[in-house]
Structure 1
Amino acid sequence: MTVREQTEQIEQEILSPWAAKAGSSRGRARPEEDCPLRTIFQRDRDRVIHCKSFRRLKTKTQVFLSPRGDHYRTRLTHTLEVSQIARTIARALRLNEDLTEAIALAHDLGHTPFGHAGERALSEISGGRFKHYRQSLRVVDRLEKEGEGLNLSWEVRNGIVCHTEGKEPYTAEGRIVRVADRIAYINHDIDDAVRAGVMGEEDIPRGITERIGGSKKERITSLICSVVENSHEGVIAMDPDDFEAYDALHEFMYQAVYRNEYAKSEEKKVPHVIERLYKHFCDPACLPEYMQRIAEEDGRETAAMDYVAGMSDLYAVNTYSDLFIPKAWSHN
């Protein structure tokens, strides 16, 4: 037996009946020869980690646009934190940790520069068609490897596109990532908001802190334990009272942070930048060569949206400056 086959056999023996098994995967859109060492889900995880879109997450906004400081979350650190929480839950429930990790690492690959402000701008340009979770799937299917795509397994692709809203993921592992994403971002957004001076931990309503904890560590631990204790037969759930406290915390954050004028003041500049870049790159001649092929095959508007969505915050700002801000010049 190969190492991969041994791993697949171990999965059959020790994982929950509700776990997705690598040996029973629905496979890839384009069949490939099996790896002698890694299962299909392990290979998917590795492909995500090594792709360009994953590296660009390090300079994409999570909540605060262009914050001054080294410790604010980026889309990359958020992704890693989602992965850690999701893997903890998966291991506790004896579900497939490799599949869970692959979905978690890929779930935000389609996020725009400037966080949700960038997503809203592209959504408005597209007439509501642009959604970051759909773009994440498009990244792995179509855009990565200069138009070749990563050819990920069906289970990972399903978890990516279903991680935010709409239909629930088909696998329990995908459903874990969906709840882990919510646990991660609400608590880490609090941490960043406190660091920015937008709010204090003491501002969180007492009823919430009494139920799920008064610190980041306490809340994350409480919510993870709630999921582990209340999930059965592949159904991923929290205790109803914990979920009610989470919902109340989410509403508090909307009022205190997500709609805070001070915290979000720079976002007013985002729609103009995104629109100017989009219009410029609607000319296929302005796109890189592989994106010109995308424009020819999928349409120039789609290719322009793909290219702008893939930019990091810094690259978008620098590109905008190069294209539209007059430069100083001298005559020698």
Structure 2
Amino acid sequence: MTIREKSEREERERLSPYAKCCLDSAGRQRPEEPCPMRTDFQRDRDRILHCKSFRRLMHKTQVFLSPEGDHYRTRLTHTLEVSQIARTIARSLRLNEDLTEAMALGHDLGHTPFGHAGEYALREVCEHGFVHAQQSVRVLERLENDGRGLNLCAEVLDGVRCHSSGQRAQTLEGRVVRYADKIAYMNHDIDDAIRAGVLGISDIPWDLQYILGRTKSQRITAMVVSLVENSSDDIRMSEDIQGAFDKLHKFMFEAVYTNPAAKGEEGKAKEVVKSLFSYFVTHPDKLPGEYHGILEEEGAHRAASDYISGMSDRYAVSTFQSLFIPKSWSL
């Protein structure tokens, strides 16, 4: 019996009957020889962790554009916090932690530069629209690995696809990741907003502080404990914690996510993305060679949005400058 087979048997014995075991996976689009050591979900996690799109997350905006300080979150640190919270919940519920981690690590790979500002910009100009969750799946299925995709298991792709859209994940692990994403970004965005002077702790409604706690750690703990104590055949919070969770989400949109002090530069960021998109749709021959196959098969809008959405913030700015900003005359 291989190490992988022992792990698969151990999953059967240890995990909840509501968990998704590797042996019950719907599998990959292209069959592969199993790894002698890792289960399929472990293998998917490792493929995501080592892919180029994952590394680029370190230079993509979470909320604050190009913040002057080393302690503000990026899209990469957000992803790691989501993974930690999701794994804690999954382990406590005896769900499949490897599957949960793979979904969490891959959930934002399709996010644009400049956070949601870039996403909204592409959504406005692309003929096929743009949703970062769907683009994350496209990165995993089509764009990574020199256009061959990572050939991940269907359950991982489903969890990534459903982490923020109106769709409901087929697995409990996917539903855990959806909650973990919101728990992570609401709480670390409060932390960053306070650091930036956009928000004060006293601005958070007193009833939310009473129910959830005053600190980031207290709030996360309250939410995670409520999920663990109230979930079984589905993932849910208690009524009072869910109500506070929803109210905090609404508060953050009003106080931070649409606050001109935090979002004042987003108009410029959107124009950068729209200008790049217009240029590459008009001049598709200027796209890198790896996107020419997409151009021929799916058109300029798809190829341009794939290229631009994969850019880091600084690469998008650098590309914009090289295309639209006059260079100094040199002798």
* Bin of the TM-score, shorter chain as denominator length: over 0.9
Structure 2 CA distance for aligned equivalents of residues 255 and 229 of structure 1: 30
Secondary structure of residue in 2 paired with 1:221: helix
- 1:267 lines up with 2:266 in the alignment: yes
**Structure 2 CA distance for aligned equivalents of residues 208 and 251 of structure 1:** 12
Alignment of 1:137-152 (within 5 A): 137-152=137-152
CA–CA distance in 2 between the matches of 1:175 and 1:248? 20
Q: Which amino acid aligns with 1:229?
A: E
The unaligned stretches of length 5 or more in structure 1 are none
Partners of 2:87 and 2:221 lie apart in 1 by 13
**In the alignment, what sits opposite 1:250?**
249
Q: Which runs of 5+ in 2 are unaligned?
A: none
Does structure 1 retain, via aligned residues, the 8 Å contact 2:79–2:105? yes
CA distance in 2 between partners of 1:129 and 1:319 (Å): 23
Per-residue Cα deviation, 1:118-158 (whole angstroms, up to 9, x for no partner): 00000001257210000000000000012110100000000
303-312 or 249-258, larger mean C-alpha shift? 249-258
Indicate the residue corresponding to 1:192 in structure 2: 192
Within a 5 Å distance, the mapping from 1:54-93 to structure 2 comes to 54-93=54-93
1:60-87 deviations in whole A, cap 9, x for unaligned? 0000011100000000000000000000
User: In the TM superposition, what whole-angstrom CA distance separates every residue of 1:85-106 from its partner, at most 9, and x where no partner exists?
Assistant: 0000000000000000000000
1:181-200 superposed Cα distances (whole Å, 9 cap, x missing partner): 01000000000000000011
> How far off its partner does 1:10 sit?
0.1
Q: Report if aligned partners of 2:133, 2:163 keep a CA contact under 8 Å in 1.
A: yes
The answer to whether 1:46 aligns with 2:57 is no
Structure 2 residue 243 is the aligned partner of structure 1 residue 227: no
Contact 2:127 2:301 in 1 (8 A): no
Once the two structures are superposed, residues 4-31 of structure 1 have per-residue CA deviations (whole angstroms, 9 ceiling, x without a partner) of 0000000000000000001121100011
TM-superposed CA distance for 1:240, in Å, is 1.0
Could you say if the C-alpha distance between residues 41 and 72 of structure 1 is closer, same or farther in structure 2, counting changes exceeding 3 Å?
same
Amino acid at match of 1:197: G
299-308 or 278-287, larger mean C-alpha shift = 278-287
Q: Take 2:305 and 2:250, find their aligned partners in 1: how far apart are those partners?
A: 31
Structure 2 counterparts to residues 303-314 of structure 1, below 5 A: 303-314=303-314
User: Tell me, what secondary structure is at the counterpart of 2:295?
Assistant: helix
Number of residue pairs aligned between Structure 1 and Structure 2: 330
Provide the rounded CA distance (Å) in 2 between the counterparts of 1:297 and 1:255: 42
Amino acid at match of 2:13: E
Pairwise CA RMSD of aligned residues? 0.9
Give the distance between the partners of 1:315 and 1:330, measured in 2 at CA: 24
Range with bigger deviation, 285-294 or 224-233: 285-294
Q: Which amino acid aligns with 1:80?
A: L
| Distance in structure 1 (CA, Å) of the matches to 2:73 and 2:248 | 19
For the residues of structure 1 that align with 2:162 and 2:253, how far apart are their CA atoms?
23
Does the alignment pair 1:4 with 2:21?
Answer: no
How far apart, in 1, do the equivalents of 2:256 and 2:301 lie? 33
Q: Which position in structure 1 is the counterpart of 2:33?
A: 33
What are the Cα deviations for residues 188-228 of structure 1, in whole angstroms up to 9, with x where unaligned? Answer: 00000000000111210100010011110000011000000
* Paired residue type of 1:266: E
The corresponding residue for 2:236 is 237
Identity of aligned residues (%): 60
- Equivalent in the alignment of 2:115: 115
Rounded to whole Å, the distance in 2 between the matches of 1:85 and 1:157 is 19
How big is the shift at 1:284?
2.7
* TM-score, normalised via structure 2 length: 0.98
- Map of 2:134 onto structure 1: 134
Question: Partners of 1:208 and 1:215 in 2: how far apart?
Answer: 11
CA-to-aligned-CA distance 1:222-269 (integer Å, 9 cap, x gap): 100000001012x00011110111111112111211111111111010
Q: Could you say which residue in structure 1 is the equivalent of 2:298?
A: 298
Secondary structure in structure 1 of the residue aligned to 2:146 = helix
